[in-house]
Amino acid sequence: MSNLHRIAGEAVAAAVRRGVTVATAESLTAGMVTAMLADTPGASAMLRGGVVSYSNTVKRDVLHVSQELLDAVGSVDGEVAAAMAEGARSACGADLAVSTTGVAGPDEHDGKPVGTVYIGVATAQGSSSYPYSFEGTRAEIRALACEAALERLQEALASIGYRE
C-alpha cells in the first residue's frame, strides 16, 4: 500500500467516525486527492464530490473565486487556495473541503517558482491555507501536494471532533 493510500484511508476512517462529509477542489493535482479518497473502502459515506479547476475560469465560475483576486495574485496563492476550498465546500454541500493549487513545472507560473504549492482547507468556521515549497519532477511535486492535502485533511478532521 502506498503512503498516499494509507493517509487517505486514515482520513476516510476519521471522517466516517466523525460523521463529516468532505469535498475537494484541485488545480495542480487534477483529481489525485479525490481519487486517493475514492480508492478507500467506505469513501462513499464521507466524500461528497470534487471540482478539478485547472483553469481560472472554473475557479471563478464554479468555485466562485473572485476574478479580482485572481487578477491581483494569480492562481497560485494562499488566498486563492482558501477560496477554492470554500467554493468546493459550498458547491458540494460538504462539512469540510480541501484544495490544491501550485506550480508543478517545468516552468514557473504567475511569477511563482516550480514547487510552490498552497493547500486550502475550509470548514464552517472559515477557510485557511498552508504554503509549501517542494522539489522534484512534475509528477513528484504533484504527489507531494496530494500527500500534503491529505495530511491537512486529517488535521482538519481531528480538529472538528466528534458530532453529538
Q: Please state the rounded mean pLDDT for residues 139-153.
A: 98
CA distances from 38 to 13, 33, 66, 124, 141 (A): 12, 9, 29, 23, 21
Contacts of 155 (CB under 8 A, 6+ apart): 121
Side-chain half-sphere exposure of 41, counting CA atoms within 13 A? 0
d(Cα 121, Cα 67) in Å, to the nearest integer?
Answer: 20
Relative orientation angle of helices 3-18 and 138-160, to the nearest 10 degrees: 20
CA distances from 67 to 23, 73, 109, 121, 158 (A): 22, 10, 17, 20, 33
What global pTM score does this model have? Answer: 0.96
Position 164 pLDDT exceeds 50 = no
- The string of pLDDT tens digits covering residues 35-94 is 999 999 999 999 999 999 999 999 999 999 999 999 999 999 999 999 999 999 999 999
Q: Which pairing describes strands 47-52 and 96-102: parallel, antiparallel, or unpaired?
A: unpaired
The C-alpha cell 469540510 sits at 96
Q: Which helix (H) or strand (E) holds 126?
A: strand 126-133
